[in-house]
Amino acid sequence: MSHGEIHLPEGRPFAYPSKQKTLHLALAGIGLALCAGGFASDPARAWKTVLIGYMFVTYLGLGAAFIQAIQYVANAAWGVGFRRVTEAMTAILPISFVLYLPLVLLGKGRVWAWMDEATLPHPLHHFLESKHWYLNLKGFMIRDLVFLGLVIAITRLWRRWSLAQDRDGDEIHTVHNTRLAAAFLVLWAPGISILGFDMLMSLDFKWFSSMFGVYTFVGCFQSALAMLTLFTLWHRRKGGSFEGIVGENNIHDLGKMLFGFTVFWAYIGFGQMLIIWYADLPEETVWFRDRWDNGWAAVSLALIVAHFVVPFFYLMRRKVKRNPTLLGLGALWLLGAQLFDLYWMTIPTLNLEGGIGPQMSVFDLGPALAYFCLYLFVVQTTISRHKTVPSQDPRYDEFIHLHQ
């Protein structure tokens, strides 16, 4: 679409600062060193922390894809101005696709105990008897890789057509992206649930919850939204690419979304716990028991405080949602809460018969730090390659004058 004489702001070109690039790569190196230390001191625990880091960053990419899809399908203007950021956030997914292979093929039974039945305690074998049709290595990898591959292909098409629109201004590219987004959402619902079942729920294969897919989706979406907020705030600083484009009303919308999904996370988490508590079936309650006994009660309560109580009351204030510094602190806090949540889901599965306490180690942070800094490097590099705003999008004018 051509805006003729309106002359809407185009956004400043972004050059990835060399000092920032060096810092990100240096921190990734420190993360790898910590990861190596973890494998040297406790290989079984190190494999679990590798999974935590992998899922933390992969969910940032997948959540960004979902954000793009709902914006296209809803014909929403609120996210048009920072679409280049969500597009760049999905650039990590091809790397996640590649890293999935060594994680699964080398980690195998060290991460997912059911993949190595020979080392399983005998009392646990009967739990697998009726689940082999689903819990088998071939099916596990096919399901997850097909889902990741399709998301990568679709996000690449979105970006290709969006960049083409920058060149020719043709609205047909928006039509194509919207139709593709509708199909994507049909794929997304079962795909993100199955990925959560496979990568996280099957860590404790004797337990199951039909709400677990929704629970992991909420964490995925909210953490991606928090990361989008941080990138947007950084690029709208004085002299940044979004200066004069992303205003207080735009960041206020991001803050409202973060607040809303803080409540939704608590709703789904409490709903899952309430149903299991009410039914009181041993094969279901065991998962929460393992996260309450042996010192985990304090950790579980801390998770509720960190992921709900603090952000709920903090983000409730209008002043916070319209202040870049305060909103950035809230978004950063929620990223930490998501990492904490993944730790809470993963570490107790080191011993499926219970008895593992919540010991912390500096080495636990290594994989997450390495992968997250690689993610920052990939996203910032991707943003720097093209125009920073899709100024030819038919809804760009509405974005610029949002709530005015």
CA dist., res. 164 & res. 153, Å (int): 17
CA dist., res. 133 & res. 140, Å (int): 10
- 369 within domain boundaries: no
CA dist., res. 124 & res. 109, Å (int): 14
Q: Is the per-residue pLDDT at 403 higher than 80?
A: no
Helices marked H in 280-294: 282-290
Question: What residues have CB less than 8 Å from 122, skipping those under 6 apart?
Answer: none
Whether 89 contacts 232, CB under 8 Å: no
- 151 within domain boundaries: yes
- 225: exposed, middle or buried (Cβ count in 10 Å: 0-12, 13-18, 19+): buried
The model's pLDDT over 326-373, given as tens digits with 9 standing for 90+, comes to: 999 999 999 999 999 999 999 999 987 767 888 888 999 999 999 999
- Number of Cβ atoms within 10 Å of the Cβ of 72: 24
Which residue's entry shows tokens 């608590």?
Answer: 266
CA dist., res. 307 & res. 83, Å (int): 27
Q: Which of 6-15, 54-63, 114-123 has the lowest mean pLDDT?
A: 6-15
* Continuous segment of H or E residues that includes residue 350: none
- 269 within domain boundaries: yes
Best CA proximity match to 292, nearest among 340, 341, 358, 237: 358
Note the Cα 258 to chain centre separation in Å. 13
Whether 367 contacts 57, CB under 8 Å: no
- 400 within domain boundaries: no
Q: Looking at residue 6, what is its pLDDT?
A: 55
Q: Which of 8-17, 148-157, 188-197 has the lowest mean pLDDT?
A: 8-17
Q: Which of 201-205, 224-228, 279-283 has the lowest mean pLDDT?
A: 279-283
- 348 within domain boundaries: yes
Structure tokens at 194: 């199955």
- Structural domain range at position 348: 15-357
Report which residue type is found at 361.
S
- CA angle at residue 56 from 55 to 62, to 5 degrees? 75
- 351 within domain boundaries: yes
User: What is the model's pTM?
Assistant: 0.94
- 304 within domain boundaries: yes
Which residue's entry shows tokens 């610029």?
Answer: 400
- 364 within domain boundaries: no
In angstroms, how far is the first alpha carbon of the chain from the final one?
Answer: 22
How many domains does the chain contain in total?
1
Supply the angle between the helices 366-383 and 212-235 in degrees, to the nearest 10.
50
The model's pLDDT over 166-175, given as tens digits with 9 standing for 90+, comes to: 888 889 999 9
Average pLDDT over every residue of 61-66: 97
| Sign of torsion over alpha carbons 45, 47, 51, 54 | positive
